[in-house]
Structure 1
Amino acid sequence: MLPRTLSETLSNVMGVPASTAVIFMRQLREAKLLSKSGRGRAAADMTPLDAARAMVAMAATPRPFHAVEAHDQFANTKLAQHSTGGLLDTLPETDGISAVAALIERYVNGQVDQHFKTTGVTWEARASAVDLVFMVTPPVSIQFRIVVNNQLVESRNYIQEGAVAPQADLREYRRLSGRTFMALADAFNAFMREDFLSA
Structure 2
Amino acid sequence: MGTVTLGVSIAVPEPYGSLLQQRRAAFGDPAAHGIPTHVTLLPPTAIDADALPAVEAHLAALAESVRPFPMRLSGTGTFRPLSPVVFVKVVEGASACAWLQKRVRDASGPLARELQFPYHPHVTVAHGISEEGMDRAYGELAEFVAQWSCTSFALYEQGADGVWRKLCDYAFGGGAAGDLPPQGLPHDAPVLY
Superposition TM-score, scaled by structure 1 size: 0.28
Superposition TM-score, scaled by structure 2 size: 0.29
1 or 2 for the larger relative contact order (CA 8 Å, sep ≥6)? Answer: 2
Structure with greater proportional strand content: 2
